[in-house]
Amino acid sequence: MTERVVLAYSGGLDTSVCIPWIAEETGAEVIAVAVDVGQNGEDLDIIRKRALACGAVEAEVADARDEFADGYCLPAIRANALYMDRYPLVSALSRPVIVKHLVAAARKHGATTVAHGCTGKGNDQVRFEVGISSLAPDLTCIAPVRDYAMTRDKAIAFAEAKNLPIVTTKKSPYSIDQNVFGRAVETGFLEDIWNAPIEDVYEYTQNPADARDADEVVITFEHGAPVAVDGREVTVLQAIEELNRRAGAQGVGRIDMVEDRLVGIKSREVYEAPGAIALITAHQELENVTVERELARYKRTIEQRWAELVYDGLWFSPLKRALDGFVAEANRHVSGDIRMTLHGGRAVVTGRRSEESLYDFGLATYDTGDTFDQSQAKGFIELFGLSGKIAARRDGQS
């Protein structure tokens, strides 16, 4: 039986060239697998037909938008996941769901190898290969762009020689990856970190400096999951899509950062993630109202580690699974409404309400009705500072 290779297929130049390239280099049959995670690109049926025209023996397309939103974006919202305190893991979150579909296709078609179109310089090669080895350690991974030094010039020449049905003459100045949770843009003039992004970099967001009326939105959460927008029930996917539209129209979610890549280099990345930033901002504030102080303090440490694990391609790792349990428990009481104003590139919380609230008006107020016993404060301060006071005496501090 002829060996089979499952290829993560996007429909672009590199992965289209990979189909006949793999066939020639390995003698294997290629099964192309395209996964829709809300990238708003070409119709998946067109992509499927292109893969077959490029020489794939079979081509599968999967609508994984709800799966991605429920199983990957939602955990990130609950974890307030921001790599380096800024990046909402747009690309990193999509890789494990694609990996699951690649492994399933390999099992279905009896493939022994999975291929992807990543270079040897980025994070995605790690995310794909570590994810695949975690789910199916018997499968082999290859990366033609990396392993066979497939430069763009070589890819274009190969595509023209094989008369592949793809456009090879026009090159975008940017490298772009996008899904429903956001959009990542890099390379081109952005590689000079002194250069400011220009407006044509952006697609999900409008210029925040443009004059427009503010947009007020109320987001309802249950156990950390967005379940309604302005009182209208929504799925997680619908919540992200609506906030992408409304927050994006206000310029919310633009991020320009120099990022620490897993491979050890620093890389300039421009992101736009209006829905992700709006939802994480709202979720964080509802946690401020409903999560007990010590749990909230510890969760902030867990959030950072959770984001690092996902960024590093360790979605299926034992530590990530264990932290998922912690995050789920920490979100047990995160239910209620958050009102936000979207305007001028910012999502600003203006109101909070929850049946699970730990905010006690009687304890918090300074006006009539104050129930806080201030007479206990003096003794509390004495005991709280006692160890430092004793140490200061020992150390001779006046």
Residue 195 zone, left/alpha/beta (φ > 0; ψ -120 to 50; rest): beta
16 is in an annotated binding site: yes
Range from 163-167, 198-202, 309-313 carrying the lowest mean pLDDT: 163-167
Strand-strand pairing, 58-63 and 29-36: parallel
- Distance, CA of 138 to chain centre: 28
Catalytic site residues? Answer: 14, 95, 124, 175
In this prediction, residue 360 carries a pLDDT of 92
In this prediction, residue 174 carries a pLDDT of 79
* Amino acid at residue number 47: I
In this prediction, residue 120 carries a pLDDT of 87
In this prediction, residue 145 carries a pLDDT of 86
Q: pLDDT band at residue 77, thresholds of 50, 70 and 90? A: very high
For residue 277, what are its two tokens? 């930033």
In this prediction, residue 190 carries a pLDDT of 93
pTM: 0.94
Q: pLDDT band at residue 172, thresholds of 50, 70 and 90? A: low
15 is in an annotated binding site: yes
Higher-confidence position of 168 and 312? 312
d(CA 339, CA 229): 10
Q: In this predicted model, what pLDDT tens digit does every residue of 79-104 receive, in sequence order? A: 999 999 999 999 999 999 999 999 99
Using N-to-C axis directions, what is the helix angle for 236-249 and 274-290, rounded to 10°?
Answer: 110
Please count the other Cβ atoms lying within 10 Å of the Cβ belonging to residue 356. 14
11 is in an annotated binding site: yes
Higher-confidence position of 301 and 147? 301
pLDDT at 168 over 60: no
87 is in an annotated binding site: yes
Q: How far are the Cα atoms of 137, 141, 354 from residue 99, in angstroms, in the given order?
A: 13, 12, 38
Q: In this predicted model, what pLDDT tens digit does every residue of 13-23 receive, in sequence order? A: 888 889 998 98
From 247, 253, 250, select the one nearest 273 (Cα to Cα): 253
Instruction: Answer yes or no: are the C-beta atoms of 326 and 305 closer than 8 Å.
Output: no
Domain ranges within the chain, ordered by starting residue: 4-171, 176-291+333-353, 368-394
Q: In this predicted model, what pLDDT tens digit does every residue of 331-383 receive, in sequence order? A: 999 999 999 999 999 999 999 999 999 999 889 989 888 899 899 999 999 99
Give percent of the chain above pLDDT 70.
98
Count Cβ atoms within 10 A of the Cβ of residue 103 and give its class: 0-12 exposed, 13-18 middle, 19 or more buried: buried
Q: In this predicted model, what pLDDT tens digit does every residue of 116-159 receive, in sequence order? A: 988 888 899 999 999 999 999 999 999 988 888 777 777 778 78
In this prediction, residue 398 carries a pLDDT of 60
In this prediction, residue 171 carries a pLDDT of 58
d(CA 219, CA 227): 8
320-345 burial, b if ≥16 CB within 10 A, otherwise e? Answer: beebeeebeebbebbbbbbbbbbbeb
259 is in an annotated binding site: yes
In this prediction, residue 1 carries a pLDDT of 64
271 is in an annotated binding site: yes
d(CA 121, CA 154): 18
Query: Does the domain formed by 4-171 have CATH 3.40.50.620?
Result: yes
12 is in an annotated binding site: yes
Strand partners, 267: 259
For residue 70, what are its two tokens? 């429920």
Give the domain 176-291+333-353 fold: Argininosuccinate synthetase, chain A, domain 2 (3.90.1260)
Count Cβ atoms within 10 A of the Cβ of residue 296 and give its class: 0-12 exposed, 13-18 middle, 19 or more buried: middle
In this prediction, residue 124 carries a pLDDT of 94
Q: In this predicted model, what pLDDT tens digit does every residue of 186-200 receive, in sequence order? A: 888 999 999 999 999
Q: pLDDT band at residue 162, thresholds of 50, 70 and 90? A: confident
Q: In this predicted model, what pLDDT tens digit does every residue of 193-226 receive, in sequence order? A: 999 999 999 999 999 999 999 999 999 999 999 9
42-51, 110-119, 250-259, range with greatest mean pLDDT: 250-259
pLDDT at 11 over 90: no
